[in-house]
Homo-oligomer: A and B are copies of this chain.
Amino acid sequence: MAATSSEFHDSNINNDGLPLVFYHCGQKYRGIPFREWIGTRYRLLEPSDSTFPTLSCSVRVLLCVGISEVTSEILDQLPSLECVVGSSVGVNHIDVAECCRRGIKVTSAGDAFTEDVADYAVGLLIAVLRRLSSADRFVRDGMWPVKGEYPLGLKLGGKQVGIVGLGSIGSEIAKRLEAFGCIIAYNSRKKKELVTFPYYETIHDLARNSDALIVCCTLTNETHHLINKEVLTALGKTGVIVNVGRGPLIDEKELVQSLLHGEIGGAALDVFENEPHVPEELLALNNVVLSAHKAVTTPESFSALVRVIVGNLDAFFAKQPFLSEVEPI
C-alpha cells in the first residue's frame, strides 16, 4: 500500500492512525510498563519488530526508557530522527553533544520526579544521621534484648547542609530541610540571583563548611568525580554525604576508603558508579545506607512522568514547545 507507506514518510502516522515513536528500552527497564501506558496514543516501534527495517528510516522521534544509552550508533540507524524524548532527570546516558550536532532535540523527565527525589534525599539524610536502617537490622537480628541500647545517632536540626546543585530537586530538598531547622548553603555552576542561601564557589569550600553534603547535580564531564578525596577530607570525620544524583559524581573508590578509615562520618547512597554493583566493602558498614537507584520510583511519580512524556511527544507532533527540553551543551 503505497499511500500508507508515503504517510509514514510524510507524517509518521502508520496504518493504525497513531504517530510512530521508536521505543528504546534496554532489557533492564522491561519492568517499567511504558508500552501499556503510552502505546494507546503512539505506535511504538522496536528493533525486534518485523516492520523495523521498513520504518526505521522514517522515525522522527525516539522515546528513551530509563537510562538506556543513546549513542551515535543508535542515531545512525534513525536518519530522520528529530527528537529524543527522555524519561529521566539526568540525561548523561544520552549523547547530547552528538544530538546537538545533528540538530536533534532532547527532553528530560522535567519535574516529574522532583518531589520524590527530594523526599528520598531527606529520608536518606535522616537515615544516615539517626542510623535508621542499621537500627532496623539491629532489631531484626534480635540484638535489642542482648545488647540493650543502640548507639546514638546525630541530630538533624541545626546541621549545616551543603546542597551540591541547586536546581529544582536541590531547591525542594532545601525547602524541606529548612523545616527541620537545618542551615542551608549550596554550590552550583553559578550563583543563583534569587536565592538567599549562602553560595560557595567551590565544592571544597562548601564541604569544609557543611555537616552534610547532598549531591543532586547533573552528571557531565565537568562534574564527573566532583566529590573527590580532597572534598571528602574537607567534609571531615563527622560529616555525612547523600547521593541522589548519579554514581560517578563521587569518586567511589575514594569514598569507600574514606568510609573504611573513618575519614568521613557516613554515607547514604542511592546511586553507584557501576550499577547494579555496589562496592562490597560498603555492605558491612553500619554508617552507610544503601538503596537501589530508587529515589524516583513511586507510582505517583511514574504517573507524572507519563504526563511529561506524552506532553513532550504531543508537543513534538503538534510543533509546539516541549515541556522539558534539555539545554544544548
Interface residues of A (CB under 8 A from B): 28, 31-32, 115-116, 119-120, 122-124, 126-127, 130-133, 135-140, 142, 144-145, 148-150, 152-158, 175-176, 178-181, 275-278, 283, 289-292, 294, 297-302
| Interchain CB contact under 8 A, A123 and B119 | no
With a cutoff of 8 Å between Cβ atoms, the chain B residues found around residue A149 in the complex are 28, 31-32, 292, 294, 297
| Interchain CB contact under 8 A, B115 and A124 | no
Number of copies of this chain that the complex holds: 2
CA distance A290 to B135 in the complex (A): 7
| Interchain CB contact under 8 A, A119 and B155 | yes
| Interchain CB contact under 8 A, B115 and A120 | no
With a cutoff of 8 Å between Cβ atoms, the chain B residues found around residue A276 in the complex are 144-145, 148
Of all A-B residue pairs in the complex, the 9 with the closest CB atoms, nearest first, are: A123-B126, A179-B179, A155-B300, A144-B276, A139-B290, A133-B136, A155-B298, A145-B276, A133-B133
With a cutoff of 8 Å between Cβ atoms, the chain B residues found around residue A135 in the complex are 290-292, 294
CA distance A152 to B292 in the complex (A): 11
CA distance A180 to B172 in the complex (A): 9
Within 8 Å by CB of A116, from B131, B155, B302, lies B155
| Interchain CB contact under 8 A, B119 and A150 | no
Within 8 Å by CB of A153, from B132, B145, B294, lies B294
| Interchain CB contact under 8 A, B155 and A115 | yes
| Interchain CB contact under 8 A, B139 and A298 | no
Within 8 Å by CB of A28, from B148, B157, B289, lies B148
With a cutoff of 8 Å between Cβ atoms, the chain B residues found around residue A140 in the complex are 283, 290
With a cutoff of 8 Å between Cβ atoms, the chain B residues found around residue A136 in the complex are 127, 133, 136-137, 289-291
* Given A144-B276, A152-B299: A120 and B116 interface contact (C-beta under 8 Å): no
Known A31-B148, A176-B179; 11 more pairs at CB < 8 Å: A115-B155, A119-B126, A119-B157, A122-B126, A127-B136, A136-B289, A136-B291, A139-B290, A145-B277, A152-B297, A176-B176
Residue of A31, A139, A156 with most partner-chain B CB within 10 A: A139
| Interchain CB contact under 8 A, B116 and A127 | no
Find the B residue at minimum CB distance from A136: B133
* Given A132-B291, A136-B290, A140-B283: A298 and B181 interface contact (C-beta under 8 Å): no
With a cutoff of 8 Å between Cβ atoms, the chain B residues found around residue A290 in the complex are 135-136, 139-140
A and B contact pairs by CB, cutoff 8 A, 13 listed: A28-B149, A116-B157, A122-B180, A131-B294, A133-B133, A133-B136, A135-B292, A140-B290, A149-B292, A153-B294, A155-B299, A157-B300, A175-B179
